[in-house]
Structure 1
Amino acid sequence: MDPADLSPEQAAEESHRLTGRILELRDAYYERDEVLVDDAEYDAMLRRLDEIERLFPALQSQDSPTQTVGGRAQTTLFDPVTHLERMLSLDNVFSREEFEVWAGKVVAASGRPIRWLCELKIDGLAINLRYERGRLVSAATRGDGVVGEDVTENVRRMSVIPTQLQGDAHPEVVEVRGEVFFPVEAFRELNAAQAEAGERVFANPRNAASGSLRQKAEGKNAKAMELMERRLSSLGMLVHGIGAWPNPPVSSQSEVYDLLCSWGLPTSSHYRVVDSVEEAADFIVRTGEDRHSVEHEIDGVVVKVDELALHDELGATSRAPRWAIAYKYPPEQVNTTLLDIVVSVGRTGRATPFAVMKKVRVAGSEVRQATLHNQDVVKAKGVLIGDTVVLRKAGDVIPEVLGPVVELRDGTEREFVMPTNCPECGTPLAPAKEGDVDLRCPNARSCPAQVRGRVEHIGSRGALDIEALGEVSAAALTQPIVPEDPPLHTEAGLFSLTLADLFPIEVIVRDNETGLPKLRDDGTEKTDTPFRRQRKKSDGPFDPEAEGFQGTETHVPSKNAVDLIANLDGAKQKPLWRFLVSLSIRHVGPVAARALADWFGSLAAMRSASREELAAVEGVGPTIADALIDWFSVDWHQEIIDRWYADGVPFETPGHPGPGAAANAGGVLAGITVVATGSLEGFTREGALEAIIAAGGKAASSVSKKTDFVAAGPGAGSKLAKAESLGLRIIDAEQFALLVTEGPGALSETSGEPSGADDAMDDLAVADATTEAATGD
């Protein structure tokens, strides 16, 4: 109903309802980092409330959501900080017509031509930095605009924010406003690591940024602190304005940016100053078309009056300035048909409902499947099989079913019923512990889906890095259509495989993320024969005995099959830590595995160690110690170890002197901590880390004051910036090669500034793609 048609009683009732809902959504968004509705729905509610209050002024109070900035003034997590000048929000427009109406009012109010500064609206967390005489003294969230939360200690851990401004002649005190965000690539890596560790996956980069910045260090063990440091060092920030600053020596917003940049503060290059409303509107349109090419998430464009004197003349309402507006882009969402809801079982046994939809293009890619997380989420979304549903990319990354289009139902839709038994092996599903919402298949040993997931994990980059053991190969070995009896019933037999075991095999191709069958355009399941091909005449004569395989003249093993056997044989020489990761021990990812391998030197030494001895290893702790002991106590896990031992996996580091003493303690980097970041010529990511460890050094994943050297190449990202801010020794690929072979002495006569530093600086816009998942599940 149009607000103008409401009676006073109806208006009061709706105002009360909208106020309660908006405050509920604000609390979830700002305090718990939860997104319960999309921006468009939230903004629509706020605008509806504003319209009602304009028509019925008696309903508007000073603490109405239309008059206040979102977020609480204080929380129990952080100390309060009072801003020297209010931090306002922005009013929104959603169409070119609305923008032009707003701009016309501003021009009319100013009485003179206006230059407009147009910049990207970052989807992040607002922050206020207070500097006194160039030194950072506090950092606070926006809160209610007057009082925010003190996050100074966490901000100091962010490499992009200087604690001391560059240059001189800084004001006695100045507040700098900006936005903290997760770069898109860093966000993808974070969510991958969270999922791998069995932790909560963030809905979007804004939530991830808020969740990372608003966390407390108190009570965290060394492992948790390392993860916290890593997340904070991955955060980006761009400053976009000033708060308290009496008589700034500049006259325009664009000059403010130049000055802030000269102080060493991160400013955006994605802004333009234009002379007309039409040019500003064109900037909005062009940016919307290219929004996915930006390194961080955006949800619109902010247009500001460039002249600072006009800011004072135009003033502000109780919640927003009159000299700036946010043009909000609609979220990219489409309608499609929910064909089915099927349940997939993953490597850890978790049973996850997935929406199977009619293929549709959204946010630049075609989508057919999306996770529904668990049966409670399916119920909460209210979707029925057969519904027309609204689909979007959450954060333009993760496909998400928002809900049904109820008015399009025709009565043929049906409810989803969560199965009581595992769809892969028939074992009754159950929660891992009392109170868990998620159901799991407890048949870890022989559930085909879990075996497939573990085998695929073994071939992954973080484990044994076996190129020929990927998604299709893992499915072929564990869940083939042909033969009826799979080559592998568990991963125990992996290193016993021969070419004869791989021929012939036909398999359903499965989605890497969901584990569900991939579908052809006609809806049938895709199949593949990864280890079989028809022999071509050009291949020359076939000698079965020379090949070690009894084949025929018409069919022989494919190159994939030959490569897999060769790769598996070569993998037996991989370092011990990689085999630890490959065993799928809960919480034992690459970082913990390296620490264990370096300390104990062999799997046998780990098995004989007590809980206290395991937990005492730096980077391990009691949780991982318990996981190791639990894993070793399972009989079929012992079968894996015994079979792999028998098939030539050494499970030890050659020459290691035993528990408590690193094999390379006397190496040229003994006692030296090195961080390798970016692309180092001559070294892969893993190769650089292994070179450091082989030389007796500590290969750290994050930069700190304890870091001795930072080896930086193109794409070094935030780690390079942090190293520079701490004044650490930075070296390039050539110097790194000297360091790991000859030690620090070989660099004594070289410059502290690497020859590749300029190249690395040029690539700071590239997100650091080397974030390593510290835990596994």
Structure 2
Amino acid sequence: MMSDVQARIEELRDILNRLNYEYYVLDQPSVSDAEYDRYMQELLQLEGEHPEYMTEDSPTVRIGGRALDVFEKVTHKSPMLSLGNAFNEGDLRDFDRKVRQAAGEESVSYVCELKIDGLAVSLHYEKGRFLQGATRGDGVTGEDITQNLKTIKAIPLRLKEEVTLEARGEAYMPKKSLEKLNEEREKKGEMLFANPRNAAAGSLRQLDPKIAAQRNLSFFVYGLADLQERTIASHSKALDFLDELGFKTNTHRRICQSIEDVLAFVQEWQEKRPSLDYEIDGIVIKVDDYELQEQLGTTAKSPRWAIAYKFPAEEVVTRLVDIELNVGRTGAVTPTAILEPVRVAGTVVRRASLHNEDLIREKDIRIGDYVILKKAGDIIPEVVASLPERRTGEEQEFRMPEHCPECGDELVRIEGEVALRCVNPVCPAQIREGLIHFVSRDAMNIEGLGERVITQLFEAELIRTVADMYRLTKEQLLALDRFGEKSASNLISSIGASKENSLEKLLFGLGIRHVGAKAAKTLAQHFETMDALRTAGEEELTAINEIGGKMAESIVAYFANEHVQELLAQLQEYGVNMTYKGLKLSDIAGADSYFAGKTVVLTGKLEQMGRSEAKKRIEELGGKVAGSVSKSTHLVIAGEAAGSKLDAARKHEIEIWDEARLLQELSK
């Protein structure tokens, strides 16, 4: 039998959950803040006196629990894909045409939703209780940020039904919260958040949930990724169901029966955008019918049944007061505009890249000019043009220097490139930027080693190469400003943990010219060890799909360098892993099948199985399913109403199968 204390605790939780729902989801508070606080204080006191009744879904966890040492990795049950972009009416009509062609219908129903400028997150509920929340990450693997998400009052800790599901949505920072946060950071001399997305991401990636709790984030659920023991036929019905469960969905959504209705919705919210208390950067258009979504399938990166229309960038006028030079990790010297602070697309902008001297000449940009500024994609500040009619005669033309602003060596322009480069291998700026790249998220992902700390360590002459990081001691860190016992210990632990990363992380972190994160994964999967890769020749490298001649030449030259060989020996001595830990080509199920190592393109409608199921089966058998036909395509599988991809396959004389031939091969 439940005791009086336990009954009162449950009653208070029910009251606070209801009040949170009214305030943060319905925006219809029924009590004053003071009354809410009284309920919360009573619950905190009772739980403190009776910890045996404490639960993980109590409203008190929203205040923020204990700090974490590191975020655990989470593998998503199904990939969190990014959306393809549309920038004009023609892009949207083209999307609609392809959807209708695949569906074989004259018109298709779409759901239009506001595109929130925040951080994509997945939420897992078990029998109605919030179990785990994770960031999108790279789409396959994210980070467990459950404790931070619990501090967002718009996320229900208990649903109104005991269902097991995965919902996906967007954590965001309201405009007023961002303004307040940046004001506080400016007073402290800290770097300001550039936009609401960065602010939300920065808040949810705090290891201390109490900090996240102070940031006043909110949340919109935008989709149902998995629902057990129930069938829902459409996206709009799924959103209605999520409403019923107590989630906060964005009510500014509309079911559109034609592309004309979609265009009208886009125009409406382009005009009404400033009236919202949160930032949006476009409209998301999704096919409503789930069966049609399945039929349309996905590419490697994005669904074919959805697209994001990006609003045109807002343009403002400000004054360019100076041009600074920055030397990157590859030696490229980039001019940066220093601007009179101006608000654009929701944040204050003070700097913008000018890319290279040729662009400055082309746009006739001078120091002292009034210039038109916008944010490309509402994110990256860009100087669009100068306003010569506003010149006073005091403006100065800009000339790139002949020598590196960091080390003084002569700058060179490599044939075929626009940028001037410093080719001094010991240039301090290049070394510092290379170190920052090495510890970045897509590379070795060393928590606590951001740009500020790298600069601090570099200036203290504690690190000069990436290998130096692995011989840092806690005592050395404690001697530096802003390092305490806990932060020093955490950083040493993070550095130690990075030694266990798979080979592709190290390859990307080394900054080999032309080798991005995707190519690093391809190389690591193919060669499996650093020793096998560094002895490979150009011919062996170019035989690998996606590795071209320019990249192969760069890889061979990199590993031939004596300094690189010495660096790798040091890293190996310090215990840094140099083998691939992922799924090896030799271990892929069905490696002896027809599809092993082949690139396949699916086109048209498959009658016996959905395109997504066909893609899954082919990949299980070692094949790669691509979204377009190229010279590297081995096979095209053409279903009913196949279009331009089938034509391209014929043109390139690529093998073509029908669905019957595919089913025959899959049945072996």
Q: TM-score, normalised by structure 2?
A: 0.47
Q: TM-score, normalised by structure 1?
A: 0.41
Bigger Rg over Cα: 1
